[in-house]
Amino acid sequence: MSSGKCSPNSTERYSSWGLAMTIRRRRFELRLLMLISVLGLAWGCAPVPDGRVISRGNDFIVVVARPRDNLASLAAEFLGSKSKAWVIEDFNGIDRVTVGQEVVIPLRPVNRAGIYPNGYRKVPILTYHRFVSPGRSCTRLAVTAESFTEQLAYLRDNGFSVIGFRELAGFLEGKSQIPPKSVILTIDDGYRSAYEVAYPILKKFGYRATLFVYTDFVGAPAGLTWTQLKEMVGSGLIDIQPHSKTHADLTKRLENESEAAYKKRIAKEISSSTRDIEKHVGVSIHTFSYPYGAENDTVVEAVKAQGFKLGATVTRGGNPSFAHPFVLRRSQVYCGDNLKVLAKRLDHFEKKPLR
Amino acid sequence: MTRARSRIPPILLLVLFTSACSIFPAPVSKQGKDNFAARRAKAEKLTGRDQLSAALVQWRILETIDSSDPAIAEKRRSVEAEIDRRAERHYESGKSALARGRYTEARDEFLAALTIDPSHEETIEELRAIDQRLVRRSRPKMAKAKPEAKKMTASKTAIRTKEKQIVRAGGQTIKAENSEALAQAVALTSQGAYLASIPLIEKHLSRYPEDDKAQSLLAISHREVGIALYKDGRLLEALGHLEKSRAYANGTDRKLSGILAEAKSQLAQESYDKGIRIFSKDVAQAIAFWEETLSYDPNHVKAKLNLHNAYKIQKNLESMSQ
């Protein structure tokens, strides 16, 4: 019976065992609490690594705009350049971002062809020849300084983006997107007035232009000099590309000229002008402008064979993404063309139901 | 033992913390959930409306946001498959129209294919070929000049070289009157030999492009040749010269504009009539003629109407033969 009684020793033993159990239970509860806290914290940290990126894939980044965000800052951060703000603007159909707004940033061209159910995008290319100084009257292919200034102001005020042929080549190849209202400015032949009249105006607006020069004309009384061409290229605004050597119509075969001799003559017209431009100005060659805009299969093949990416005619109209790269359309600007006429030449979207 | 136990938990907790950070799903805010639901509804709506290209973009964005939802991935795949199927169908219709010489219809089919699938390479190539054709058709044709006028003699080359040397050496301006080519051209035009004068004036202008007098002379020569050809009934050749004349003319020449419009109108009417004559025998050929009519006169109402009907008839004939 003695076993039924609690001895002082056994009581002591039981109370120390109970204390140990209590401590263990407390420790367990504490650890459980800490574990839950850690998991809770982890759940909070996982999704938004930098606090605003909802998700990031190969094609898109989805972000929530924060107080200091704007289109340019998002473009700089996620697309590598502020100048690509239009990509975000165009894709989301917005002209600014507001705090808390979900913004999708496309990392690859989404509609590279610029074709929509209601029509397709086109890139107009304007072609000028000569310019006349302020106060002087114009002739058919010579535009006054006042008109040229007015036309560039029109581009600026109506949201046009002046791009170059490299961007156009990327668009045609489906490698890159271009701003919705893109336009290219070109000046043919290489008259001195391109330097004396047009260049200062282009600098004022910060617009780029491509000069197509026929090299026999360089150094002629009314023509540009290599020094002037080099100076313009140095500004980063002007690109120089070939327009043949003699400005002969390359589609015309001479009397008694054999096929082989004709091809050789064309090849020389292209290669000689290309070589001279590379040698004197140091630019890389990518676009050929056909004299009189005249081309045929032989001429196009010769231009392709010499490594050109694009060829420009003077057939009026804009260039969609599916334009033939060696017969690009260009619209000539004439003396007396008012802004209404210019607006027609700048048509950048062909409305056409396509479904 | 107690010390060892007390050291384990912080390490364990750190491991748990870091692994949980990468394993746990995103806590989606209410705003985020609403945006997601709205985008999903938009994707469904676009899919239902057959705006597949736009729908695919939305499904891809949804997949970027929630890659774990198999329903979204499945929707995206099904839209992609439908896009492929429809783009291919339009592409084949375009090829078929092209084979029958129906360029306008072919172009429309190819554009429809590209609207659905903007990256359809074969379609882009076909459209480029049609585009090249259109550019070349829009370009004014240039008439052949007389062979004699094209020959450059050794003496002329010598004169040209000499002039160039003078210009380069002293920066002296050579007057256009001293140009051998222009002098010959002026003599030819005074004798009424306008066609022969053209290459000589062009040659002169390649060296003195700012010579307004030479430009005016070239405009006159082209105009006179154009008028002669027009009177002779050689409308296509006339059109080429008249267009060139307009390009070089200083100011508006009403007479020229009138003849140009007349030549275009006559060419349009000629091809329209050809289409009418052949329509009962060969619908495809008639379509080609009426398309040509529109290239000369885009506002030719009868050609537009006939084309519209001819396309329908052609389609019915095809379905009947199948």
Look at the alpha carbons of B257, B263, B264, B266 in this order and tell me if their dihedral is positive or negative: positive
pLDDT at residue number B159: 40
Which H or E run contains A147?
helix A145-157
H helices of B117-211, in order, are 121-138, 147-150, 154-170, 180-190, 194-207
Compute the distance between CA of residue A266 and CA of residue A262 in angstroms, rounded to an integer: 6
C-alpha distances out from residue A304 to A29, A123, A329, B14, B183, Å: 79, 22, 17, 63, 38
What is residue B210's DSSP assignment? T
**CA angle, corner B122, sides to B119 and B123, nearest 5?**
70
CB-CB: which of B26, B51, B131 is closest to A117?
B51
**Averaged pLDDT, A264-273:** 95
pLDDT at B3: 47
Residue in B with minimal Cα distance to A31: B9
CB-based contact B16 A323, cutoff 8 Å:
no
Q: Which residue has the tokens 């600098």?
A: A203
- pTM for the model: 0.65
CB B241 within 8 A of CB B143: yes
Instruction: Give burial (CB, 10 Å; 0-12/13-18/19+) of B202.
Output: buried
pLDDT of residue B192: 79
CB contact under 8 A, B16 and A39: yes
Identify the closest residue of chain B to A252 by CA–CA distance.
B144
Per-residue pLDDT tens for B181-217?
A: 888 888 888 777 888 888 888 878 877 777 778 888 8
What average pLDDT does range B281-307 have in this prediction?
A: 85
Average pLDDT over residues A58-62: 90
- CA-based nearest residue to A280, from A246, A237, A232: A232
Q: pLDDT category, A13, cuts 50, 70, 90?
A: low
pLDDT band at residue A320 under the 50/70/90 scheme: very high
Residues in chain A closer than 8 A to B135 (CB atoms): 313, 315, 317, 324, 327, 329
Average pLDDT for B146-152: 34
Q: Residue B158 — pLDDT band, cuts 50, 70, 90?
A: very low
Highest mean pLDDT among A37-46, A86-95, A223-232, B29-38: A223-232
Minimal Cβ distance to B150: which of A55, A111, A255 = A255
Is residue A77 a contact partner of residue A65, using CB atoms and an 8 Å limit? no
Mean pLDDT calculated for residue range A22-35:
80
Higher model confidence: residue B267 or residue B152?
B267
Q: Which of B210, B245, B253 to mutate to test binding with chain A, by most A CBs within 10 Å of its CB?
A: B210
d(CA B205, CA B230): 26
Classify each residue of B66-103 as buried b or exposed e, where b means 16 or more C-beta atoms within 10 Å of its C-beta.
Answer: beeeeebeebbeebeebbeebbbebbebbeebbebebb
Position with higher pLDDT, A36 vs A68 = A68
The alpha carbon of residue A4 is apart from the nearest alpha carbon of chain B, in Å, by: 35
pLDDT category of residue B2 using cuts at 50, 70 and 90: very low
Residue of B nearest to A34 (CA): B13
pLDDT class for B143, splitting at 50, 70, 90?
very low
Helices B180-190 and B212-231: angle between axes, nearest 10 degrees: 40
State chain A's mean pLDDT as an integer. Answer: 88
DSSP state of A293: G
- Are B111 and A219 within 8 A, CB to CB? no
Q: According to the model, what pLDDT value does residue B193 have?
A: 80
